């Protein structure tokens, strides 16, 4: 069990809103006051923290969103798996591990007990609760099952296929008997997607730059057209998907990472009109609207994951000071699978 006095209280602050790609100079690691838990609260030591593309949206104070922007000169926040150090709740004891949407970007934090979910380290590595068994996994499951409503034999196209969300979408689609096409940004990622990640064909989009070339590659990989598109990237990927989408196609708009660092409003796809004649449905979604279905997600993903039938990868960054680098790396394709930061050891 951990004594809070053994942990230096530190946090990463946002010092400037990035214009374009996030850089190290937009962040600074500082000593902070040791937090004290109030009534019904826990004192937690962060073990693993998540960096996620949505955090870039919280660095744009001018854009209306479902979640408020980060404040300048204040600690950042995000998902984390933490060890309970002190508990003012009958539901948690020191030494328990818990996951929550708060606690990232700092070494120690407090949280109301009801905001944290206990996790069992014997079921899966703790970091998996930030990836395949956590928010990105739930996102993959919700977009596929609740929006795309896939049918056996259909073709599924997944962009950002080697990432935390995409890699699970591909595997769940394959398990449902679909022809799965994924796109990713390196030969190594594509080889893994075809060998283990559920793709029948994986396209390295960097070998097919521009909408015309990418459309050609996608049409070859999906000879019967695309019935379901799981959108993580936007830009040329969306334009190509709209070129090859079938009649009554469905699109789950999960993310558009290619435009998150844009300094000018990005152009929309010129072929959006295809949606009309082909009767295409597109729906944007946020994972938090589907959290009431968490037990269904865990029932579908948990057993095959435990049996080793569902694979997942992680890019691990060591130490809280590496969090800005881990975050910036998301926009350069440096992560392969879920990007996580080890803030402290599992047990001190
Ligand atoms: N709607 C929701 O509730 C929700 C929840 C979670 C995530 N998301 C979205 O889902 C998407 C994937 O998230 P994730 O957590 O799984 O991240 P991730 O895929 O693990 O990491 C981001 C990946 O995006 C790719 N990428 C970065 N810039 C790109 C560009 N300009 N063009 C093409 N690919 C680019 C990179 O892979 P390559 O090497 O392949 O380029 C990078 O590794 C994001 O758009 C995110 O915003 C949405």
The atom number, within ligand 1, closest to the CA of 284 reads: 1
Binding pocket residue ranges, ligand 1, CB within 6 Å: 52-54, 136, 139, 160, 162-166, 184-186, 189, 232-233, 254-258, 285-287, 330-331, 333, 335, 338
Mean pLDDT in order along the chain per 10 residues (348 residues): 78 97 96 96 98 96 88 95 97 97 96 96 92 98 97 98 98 98 98 98 98 98 98 98 98 98 93 98 98 97 95 98 98 98 88
What CATH code is carried by the domain that includes residue 239? Answer: 3.40.50.720
Q: Pairing mode, if any, of strands 80-87 and 97-100? A: antiparallel
> What is the model's pLDDT at position 348?
62
Distance between Cα 33 and ligand 1 center (Å): 34
> What is the model's pLDDT at position 347?
79
Nearest CA to ligand 1 atom 18: 163
Ligand 1 pocket, mutate which of 50, 53, 325 (most atoms under 8 A from CB): 53
Under a CB-based contact definition with an 8 Å cutoff, are residues 322 and 252 in contact? Answer: no
> What is the model's pLDDT at position 1?
59
Distance between Cα 337 and ligand 1 center (Å): 10
Nearest CA to ligand 1 atom 2: 286
> What is the model's pLDDT at position 63?
85
Residue 199 lies in domain: 135-288
Under a CB-based contact definition with an 8 Å cutoff, are residues 214 and 194 in contact? Answer: no
> What is the model's pLDDT at position 108?
97
What CATH code is carried by the domain that includes residue 124? Answer: 3.90.180.10
In Å, how far from its chain's centre is CA 251?
18
The number of distinct structural domains making up the chain is 2
Under a CB-based contact definition with an 8 Å cutoff, are residues 208 and 216 in contact? Answer: yes
Ligand 1 pocket, mutate which of 160, 171, 236 (most atoms under 8 A from CB): 160
Residue 208 domain-assigned?
Answer: yes
> What is the model's pLDDT at position 62?
86
Residue 297 domain-assigned?
Answer: no
Residue 219: exposure state from Cβ atoms within 10 A (0-12, 13-18, ≥19) = middle
12 shares a domain with 93: yes
Count the helix, strand and coil residues of the chain and give each as a percent rounded to the nearest 5.
Answer: 35, 25, 40
Residue linked to tokens 């004290």: 36
61 shares a domain with 11: yes
Q: Give every CB contact of residue 241 below 8 A, 6+ residues apart in sequence.
A: 157, 159, 218, 226, 229, 231, 251
């Amino acid at each position: 069990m951990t004594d809070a006095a053994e942990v230096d209280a530190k946090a990463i602050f946002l010092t400037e809103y990035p214009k374009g790609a996030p850089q190290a100079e937009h962040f600074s690691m500082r000593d902070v006051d040791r937090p004290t838990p109030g009534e019904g609260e826990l004192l937690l030591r962060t073990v693993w923290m998540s960096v996620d593309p949505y955090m870039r949206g919280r660095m744009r104070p001018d854009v209306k969103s479902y979640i408020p922007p980060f404040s300048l000169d204040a600690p950042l926040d995000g998902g984390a798996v933490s060890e309970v150090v002190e508990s003012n709740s009958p539901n948690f004891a020191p030494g328990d591990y818990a996951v929550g949407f708060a606690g990232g970007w700092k070494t120690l934090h407090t949280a109301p007990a009801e905001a944290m979910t206990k996790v069992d380290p014997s079921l899966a590595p703790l970091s998996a609760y930030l990836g395949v068994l956590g928010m990105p996994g739930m996102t993959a499951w919700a977009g596929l099952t609740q929006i795309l409503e896939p049918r056996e034999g259909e073709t599924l196209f997944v962009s950002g296929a080697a990432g935390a969300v995409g890699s699970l979408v591909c595997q769940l689609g394959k398990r449902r008997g679909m022809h799965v096409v994924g796109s990713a940004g390196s030969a190594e990622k594509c080889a893994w997607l075809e060998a283990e990640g559920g793709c029948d064909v994986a396209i390295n989009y960097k070998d097919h730059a521009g909408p015309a070339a990418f459309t050609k590659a996608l049409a070859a990989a999906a000879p019967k057209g695309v019935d379901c598109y799981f959108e993580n990237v936007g830009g040329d990927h969306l334009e190509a998907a709209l070129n090859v989408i079938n009649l009554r196609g469905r699109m789950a708009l999960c993310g558009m990472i290619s435009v998150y660092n844009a300094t000018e409003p990005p152009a929309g796809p010129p072929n959006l009109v295809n949606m009309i004649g082909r009767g295409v449905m597109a729906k944007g979604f946020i994972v938090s609207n589907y959290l009431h279905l968490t037990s269904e997600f865990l029932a579908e993903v948990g057993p095959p994951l435990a049996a080793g039938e569902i694979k997942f990868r992680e890019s691990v960054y060591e130490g809280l000071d590496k969090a800005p680098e881990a975050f910036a790396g998301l926009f350069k394709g440096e992560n392969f699978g879920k990007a996580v930061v080890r803030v402290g050891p599992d047990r001190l």
